[in-house]
Amino acid sequence: MNIYLVYEKYHKDFIAFARSIVNDHNEAFDLVQDAYVKALEREEIFEIMNEYQIKGWFFTTIKNKNIDNIRRQHRLKYEEEMEIYSNTESFEENIVLNDLLNKLPDKYRKVISLKYGMNLNSAEIGERLGISPSTVRSQLSEGRRLLKKYV
């Protein structure tokens, strides 16, 4: 069966499935589009598949694309945290910094890591974390206050 016909017929099902995974329409749409691009790149494999096999392939690919995105986000988080350590001057400073940062609640640790480790401004941090710039500023302030308290 033709991949284009299956896509047209089941597009809404694919979007609904992706939304059930990510709970965000835009992200769901991106997952479906990524799966469709992958399908177009490998169109020859669909010549031997029937409609239901192609539909199953799309559902599996959408799920796997989401897993890839989650892995990428975790890797980026790790790289962002490691960036902080590369900016310090000694191993001992890294240990102290790590201990202090680990005492912070996650939301404060993230904004401080992005602000001082990656030199991002409040708007950029807010965009990455899905919060407003004013929330970023208040979390930075509270995070710095807690760090001073820990020292």
CATH topology of domain 3-71: Rna Polymerase Sigma Factor; Chain: A (1.10.1740)
Over the Cα atoms of the chain, what is R_g? 22
| Amino acid, res. 59 | F
Q: Provide the phi-psi class of 23: left if phi over 0, else alpha when psi is between -120 and 50, else beta.
A: left
Mean pLDDT by 10 residues, the chain (151 residues): 81 95 92 93 86 91 92 73 60 74 89 86 91 92 88 74
Q: What's the pLDDT at 75? A: 73
Q: At what angle do helices 3-22 and 51-86 cross, to 10 degrees?
A: 50
Angstrom distance (rounded) from CA 132 to CA 123:
7
Domain positions in the chain: 3-71, 87-150
Q: Identify the CA nearest to 81 among candidates 109, 60, 100.
A: 109
pTM over cut 0.85: no
Q: What's the pLDDT at 34? A: 94
Beta-carbon contacts of 125 under 8 Å, excluding residues fewer than 6 positions away, are 111, 114, 115, 131, 133, 136
Q: What's the pLDDT at 81? A: 65
Please say whether the structural domain 87-150 has been given the CATH code 1.10.10.10: yes
